[in-house]
Amino acid sequence: MATSKDVARLAGVSHTTVSRAFRNDPKVKPATRQRIMKIAEELGYTPNQVASNLRSQKTRTVGLIISFGFNPFFLEITHTLETELASNGYRLLIAFDEADPDRQWNILQSLSSAQVNSILFTPLYRDADQKNRLHSWMKHSPIHFLQLIAEDFDDFPSFSFDDNLGAYLGTRHLLSQGHRNILMVGGTNRVEGYTRAFEEIGCRPAYPYQNLSSESREQNFEKIKAAILSQKPSAVFAIAYDMNYLAYEVLLKLNLRVPEDISFLAFDDDRWLQLLGISVIGHPIQALSGSIVREILSYEVGDEVYPSSTSFKPFLIERNSVLSI
């Protein structure tokens, strides 16, 4: 089996120059690198990058744990991160914890054993004891931890979106189009923005929000259906990715046309929403990913990095699903 020393001998360069050529080091002249790569290809030589990285304790590898694997929103973040990290010579290891704290803990141990340099994840725990155990382990680990769409630990950097601002922008848009009977469906983490928009015009929401985060899909479907039939809202605002499709499915089941019979606004921009011309609250995913990559690279080159909480502002994308009344 050919070695880097064989390549160096035939190319008339040092062993160090061969290593630098495979790292795309700018100190290696283009003509020299081309000669080295040609000889390496002829010999069938490829560098043992894993062994090299382990010797230097820099695997140039980032772990990403995704808690909501079927959410296109997180898949888009993943794709953007992988592209930007790869362009800087880093690998991205991806794992799915299915929103299970125990599964996430096992993945964290596995990534730690693989000597990744950074881990990006949404911390999960069932109680205070689990949270404290996770926090203590993170503090004593040499790994660089980053929180994705979470701000659970102040002493670790976090990257999130201002969800309440998104709910506020969406509700304000519906109110500006004359809607007052607005049915909001989803979890509780975006209710503040919904109620704030109503307060600004001096009134209360006609209906309480529908908290559907802990129900099964079938139960949520029936709950949304019952709310629409009983409350007869002029607009539905779905504030969670999994509620977008479910709420729209209910509207189809009830033979309600959007926007002729009822207006519809969604959270997180997905392709099917774009195709149907649904207005949404979008998020600056490129900005989020770019900020995460800069944080990782700064840490990797030894720059002093201080824990920070970075929140990105969502924005309204108007299409054709909200009717002015």
- Contact between 103 and 111 under an 8 Å Cβ cutoff? The reply is no
- Contact between 71 and 127 under an 8 Å Cβ cutoff? The reply is no
Residues in the chain: 325
Secondary structure tally for the chain: helices H, strands E: 13, 12
CB count within 10 Å of CB 52 equals 16
Q: Please, what are the averages of pLDDT over each run of 10 residues along the chain (325 residues)? A: 83 82 79 90 72 54 87 84 90 93 94 91 95 93 92 93 94 97 85 93 78 75 92 93 92 98 95 96 92 86 69 96 97
Predicted confidence at residue 17, as pLDDT, reads 86
CB count within 10 Å of CB 129 equals 9
Closest CA to 112 of 150, 145, 81, 153: 145
Helices 4-11 & 15-22 angle (0-180, nearest 10)? 110
Helix (H, G, I), strand (E, B) or coil at 209: coil
DSSP H/E element including 310: strand 309-312
The amino acid at 137:
W
Predicted confidence at residue 303, as pLDDT, reads 54
Predicted confidence at residue 166, as pLDDT, reads 95
